[in-house]
């Protein structure tokens, strides 16, 4: 805590000790120490409070860097937050990729000068070295920001994912699927909504589900339960790999639904198998190969 402390007032060690009720990770303890040193009157008692406090400091840093490096005025915090989410999901490594990713933010789509300024700011703040991805770190803080920002802006995820080539799409979906651990229900709802708006989006989500399970798998499981069944149910059933732990359960679910949707066979047709001539068929010699 002393290493991070910049405030002239003494550190409230007793309040900091009060946060021990939660089972914190090692990273959480480092973040708690930083927050206790720099915001001595803020005492998180859960991870949401902790990550929110850390992001408040990060947001101040982004805004300050923006003001110091550009002459376009102050950037709204909400725009910076959405820009950071876009970059963290797409993980660009070059300036051209970063500028392209920022087009997903509505305010930046048709504002090239502003987009350039945000690009310069966030590359300075987030890129740890040449060739490294421009993403927010550490992961738990990034996951918190991703899920909260996407939940507040239901159109942002489509803007981030739509139009990506297969490799970049998988990168973004993997990042989102990783973030799902912070709020599985919200992440599942987001992925489900995105998949439901395109006929072939399930394919990339299935690949991520086979690798990581989590929200990607839960979203597909949810979508095939919705009536009427999606047009791609049979294609999904055929595409499911049996080399992963979670997806065979999805395969069983999909095929159970497919069987339930088959038309019932009339009793008359079933009886034909035991009617006249049926015995001849059953007793006919069968060829066998040994």
Q: Residue 286: what pLDDT?
A: 43
CA distances from 206 to 40, 134, 166, 253 (A): 46, 26, 13, 14
Q: Residue 8: what pLDDT?
A: 55
Least confident of 21-30, 212-221, 272-281: 272-281
Residue 257 CB burial class (10 angstroms; 0-12, 13-18, ≥19)? middle
Cα separation, 3 vs 21, whole angstroms:
24
Query: Which one-letter DSSP state was computed for residue 20?
Result: G
Q: How many Cα atoms are found within 13 Å in the side-chain-facing hemisphere of 57?
A: 17
The band of 274, judged by pLDDT with boundaries at 50, 70 and 90, is low
Instruction: Tell whether the model's pLDDT for residue 242 goes beyond 90.
Output: no
Mean pLDDT, residues 59-70: 91
145's CB contacts (< 8 A; 6+ apart) are 51, 55, 81, 84, 85, 88, 136
Cα separation, 184 vs 177, whole angstroms:
9
Of the chain, the percentage scoring pLDDT greater than 70 comes to 83
DSSP 132-185: S----SSHHHHHHHHHHHHHH-TTHHHHHHTT--HHHHHHHHHHHHHHGGG-HH
Instruction: Tell whether the model's pLDDT for residue 230 goes beyond 70.
Output: yes
Q: Residue 43: what pLDDT?
A: 83
Per-residue pLDDT tens over the stretch 68-120? 888 777 788 999 999 999 999 999 999 999 999 999 999 999 999 999 999 99
Instruction: Tell whether the model's pLDDT for residue 263 goes beyond 90.
Output: no
Helices 112-126 and 77-90: crossing angle, nearest 10°? 70
Mean pLDDT, residues 136-140: 95
Q: Residue 285: what pLDDT?
A: 43
Q: Residue 276: what pLDDT?
A: 54
Q: Residue 224: what pLDDT?
A: 95
The band of 267, judged by pLDDT with boundaries at 50, 70 and 90, is low
Q: Residue 262: what pLDDT?
A: 78
Q: Residue 28: what pLDDT?
A: 94
* Phi, psi dihedral angles at 239 (to 5 degrees): -90, -15
Cα separation, 282 vs 90, whole angstroms:
62
Of the chain, the percentage scoring pLDDT greater than 90 comes to 64
Per-residue pLDDT tens over the stretch 150-194? 999 999 999 999 999 999 999 999 999 999 988 999 999 999 999
Cα separation, 211 vs 3, whole angstroms:
40
pLDDT mean across residues, the chain: 86
Helices 202-212 and 184-196: crossing angle, nearest 10°? 150
Mean pLDDT, residues 196-204: 95
């Amino acid at each position: 805590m002393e290493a991070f402390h910049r405030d002239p007032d003494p550190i409230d060690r007793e309040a900091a000790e009060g946060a021990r009720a939660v089972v914190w990770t090692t990273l959480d303890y480092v973040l708690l120490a930083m927050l206790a040193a720099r915001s001595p009157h803020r005492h998180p008692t859960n991870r949401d409070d902790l990550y929110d406090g850390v992001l408040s400091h990060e947001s101040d840093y982004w805004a300050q860097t923006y003001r110091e490096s550009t002459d376009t005025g102050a950037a709204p915090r909400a725009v910076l937050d959405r820009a950071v989410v876009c970059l963290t999901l797409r993980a660009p490594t070059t300036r051209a990729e970063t500028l392209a990713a920022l087009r997903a933010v509505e305010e930046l789509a048709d504002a090239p000068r502003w987009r350039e300024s945000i690009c310069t700011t966030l590359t300075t703040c987030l890129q740890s070295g040449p060739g490294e991805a421009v993403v927010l770190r550490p992961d738990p803080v990034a996951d918190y920001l991703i899920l909260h920002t996407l939940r507040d802006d239901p159109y942002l995820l489509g803007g981030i994912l739509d139009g990506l080539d297969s490799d970049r799409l998988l990168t973004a979906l993997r990042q989102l699927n990783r973030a799902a651990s912070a709020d599985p229900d919200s992440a599942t709802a987001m992925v489900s909504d995105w998949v439901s708006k395109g006929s072939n989006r399930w394919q990339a989500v299935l690949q991520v589900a086979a690798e990581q399970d989590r929200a990607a798998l839960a979203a597909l499981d949810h979508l095939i339960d919705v009536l009427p069944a999606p047009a791609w149910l049979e294609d999904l059933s055929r595409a499911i790999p049996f080399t992963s732990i979670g997806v065979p359960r999805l395969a069983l679910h999909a095929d159970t639904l497919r069987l339930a949707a088959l038309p019932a066979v009339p009793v008359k047709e079933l009886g034909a198998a035991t009617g006249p001539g049926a015995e001849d068929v059953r007793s006919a010699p069968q060829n066998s190969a040994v």
